[in-house]
Every structure is written in C-alpha cells, then in structure tokens.
Amino acid sequence: MDTNLARPQTIASPGQNSFADSLLNGLRKSSKEIACKYFYDEAGSRLFDAICDLPEYYQTRTEMALLARHAAEIAALMGDGAEIVEFGAGSLRKVRILLDAARNPRAYTPLDISGDYLRHVVRSLAADYPALILRPLVADFTLPLEIPHLPGADTPRAGFFPGSTIGNFKPDAAMALLRRMRATLGGGGLLIGVDLVKDPARLHAAYNDAAGITALFNKNLLVRANRELGADFDPDGFAHYAPYNAAAHRIEMYLVSLKRQSVTLCGQRFEFAQGEPVHTEDSHKYTIESFREMAARAGFNPRAVWTDQDRLFSVHWLESR
C-alpha cells in the first residue's frame, strides 16, 4: 500500500439495529427512552463540539491538559510500534496529542458508528502522519466485535477511550464493556478518561449551560427523528431536564413533555402526558478508587492515574493481564 488514505471499512455486529427500531422500542416502554448514541449525527456532533468549548463544561479542557502534561509517560506505557485503537473516535485534537508523543506508532484504528466522521478523520490525519497506517472502522463498539490483525509481525495494541464516554453506561454495562475492550486489545493496555464525583452544583452547571447548547443537543434527537424518519415531534413542546442523581452518582438527562401531545413516527402514534419524561442519557461519575475497583473487576490491572489539582477529571492507564 503506497498510501495511508484508507477507506472506512464496516464491521457489522449481530443484532445491530437502526435509529428507527431503537426509537420505536424506546417509546413503547412504560418509561420512555431514546438511546444516547443517536445524539451524534452531523448536527449533534457539531453541537457536542460546542459543548466541549463551553465555560461550564470543564471535562474536555481538563482531560486535554492531562494528556498533554503526561504525554511522554503515556507514550512510554503504550510502548513502541503500537496500534492505537480508539473507541468511538471523538475529538481529533485528543488523539493528535497521543500520536505526537507516541514512539513509532504503527497504526491508528478509530472505531465509530459514523462513516462520514471517519472519512473526515482519515483526511485530516493522513497528511500529517504519512508513515501511520490509518484503519478507520465503522463499528458499534458497544457490541461484540473482532478487529482483524495487521499483517506482518504481531503489533501490540493500545486502547484509547477518552471523554468519559464510559459514563454513559450503567456500572454493570460499563464493566461488561471494559471486559470486551480488554478482549479486543489482546493484552494491550487501555488509556481511559473518567469524569469524577464532585460538587453537585458544578456537575449541574456542566449539563445545564447558560447558553442552552446542551438543551439543543438533547432536543436534536427529536429534530433528527423528524428529518430522518419523518416523525412530527415539536421540539419546543419538550424541555431539557438534567438533574444530578447524587445517590447514583450520575447526571440524568430527559426531554420532558410540556403538554399532553401525540407524535406520529413510522406510522405509529405515541402519546405523551403533560410532564412525562423521556430518558435520553446517563453520565455516571466515579471516584478514582471506585473506577479502579471496577476496572479490576473487569480483569484489568489499574496502573497509572493522573488527575488535575481540583480533582475534576481523571485519566487512567489500565494494563491487561
């Protein structure tokens, strides 16, 4: 291959379902819900980027500073000639910090459900890292998946799962996901960003920003359903509601129906009572200790952990075996 401009390859997992199926199932439940992975169409991804730049959303800039500050140590832990596998390729700004510090990285394999996003990733990185093998894979990392090995000598893998995306999963599911990632990494370690338990007011502010961007991000699920599935949601008929559930250590996001209304979706009618919530996201927070405990139960050996002075966010290096 004389070019690293790979075309995103699709890895289908059994049981993969569509936005339509998932939405219909979620709205049929007695407690209505929409799966949070559907936030990230093009408009949603742009809104999420805007969230990351909000003054209240400390997560992104704190994690980036931690990655930059400890890049050399992280690179040493990742080892020589590794294949960096990113689960849910989010911000290119983050992986560039790793790629710039890494020792002779052989390949970068971003996994994402959006093929469009992956094409963008490849185009953006190819010119700056000409020696790097780019292997964008369209895949849902929440489902079991096997990544084919690179040809030639055994290339060690290093996983990268930044942004505290792990927080979207309930603890049992998070542990199961960590187990699957460990299997995918085949003995390689995992670098993972985890948001920390803190003053509830600070957490509340991060998900209830003054500019209302998080509200738009939440309501984009309805806008997307209207555009892609021909639904007739009135986005103004729902309120963004994101309380911190201190007992469960998580932010919970809902769209709350502001009136009694009905919505038609794929030829089916759904009734919403006034005040009825539709659950759209959980964002679990951990202590450094509680996260390391969970990682250990998932079969990892928690090694290094880095945090900022205010203990807002943490980055962990988990070894396999």
- Least separation in angstroms between residue 294's CB and ligand AVJ is 17
The residue type at 1:
M
Q: Is 163 near ligand AVJ (CB under 6 A)? A: yes
Applying CB under 6 A, which of residues 62, 109, 164, 184 lies at the interface with ligand AVJ? 164
Q: Is 207 near ligand AVJ (CB under 6 A)? A: yes
For residues 4 and 126, the answer to whether their CB atoms sit within 8 Å is: yes
Q: Is 45 near ligand AVJ (CB under 6 A)? A: no
- How many angstroms separate the CA atoms of 176 and 173, rounded? 5
Applying CB under 6 A, which of residues 4, 109, 220, 283 lies at the interface with ligand AVJ? 283
- Least separation in angstroms between residue 292's CB and ligand AVJ is 19
Q: Is 291 near ligand AVJ (CB under 6 A)? A: no
In the three-class reduction of DSSP (H, G, I as helix; E, B as strand; rest coil), residue 38 is classed as: helix
- Least separation in angstroms between residue 253's CB and ligand AVJ is 6
Instruction: Using alpha carbons only, give the angle 59, 63, 67 rounded to the nearest 5 degrees.
Output: 175
Q: Is 51 near ligand AVJ (CB under 6 A)? A: yes
Q: Is 209 near ligand AVJ (CB under 6 A)? A: no
Q: Which residue's CB atom is positioned nearest to ligand AVJ?
A: 283
For residues 291 and 163, the answer to whether their CB atoms sit within 8 Å is: no
- Least separation in angstroms between residue 64's CB and ligand AVJ is 14
- Least separation in angstroms between residue 283's CB and ligand AVJ is 3
Q: Is 313 near ligand AVJ (CB under 6 A)? A: no
Instruction: Using alpha carbons only, give the angle 52, 55, 59 rounded to the nearest 5 degrees.
Output: 45
- Least separation in angstroms between residue 72's CB and ligand AVJ is 26
Tokens of 151: 């040809």
Residue 270, beta-bridge partner list: 263
Q: Is 214 near ligand AVJ (CB under 6 A)? A: yes
H-helix segments, the chain: 19-28, 42-52, 58-69, 71-78, 92-101, 115-126, 171-185, 200-207, 213-229, 288-297
In this structure, what DSSP letter does residue 41 have?
S
Q: Is 114 near ligand AVJ (CB under 6 A)? A: no
Q: Is 8 near ligand AVJ (CB under 6 A)? A: no
Applying CB under 6 A, which of residues 159, 167, 188, 302 lies at the interface with ligand AVJ? 167
Count of residues near ligand AVJ by CB under 6 A: 11
Q: Which is nearer to ligand AVJ, 51 or 265 (CB)?
A: 51
CA atoms within 13 A on the CB side of 123: 6
In the three-class reduction of DSSP (H, G, I as helix; E, B as strand; rest coil), residue 179 is classed as: helix
Tokens of 101: 């510090």
Q: Which is nearer to ligand AVJ, 62 or 214 (CB)?
A: 214
CA atoms within 13 A on the CB side of 285: 23
Considering only 13-21, 161-169, 178-186, 224-232, which stretch makes contact with ligand AVJ by CB under 6 A? 161-169
- How many angstroms separate the CA atoms of 93 and 150, rounded? 25
The residue type at 20:
A
Q: Is 165 near ligand AVJ (CB under 6 A)? A: yes
- Least separation in angstroms between residue 227's CB and ligand AVJ is 20
For ligand AVJ, the binding residues (CB under 6 A) are: 51, 59, 163-165, 167-168, 207, 214, 281, 283
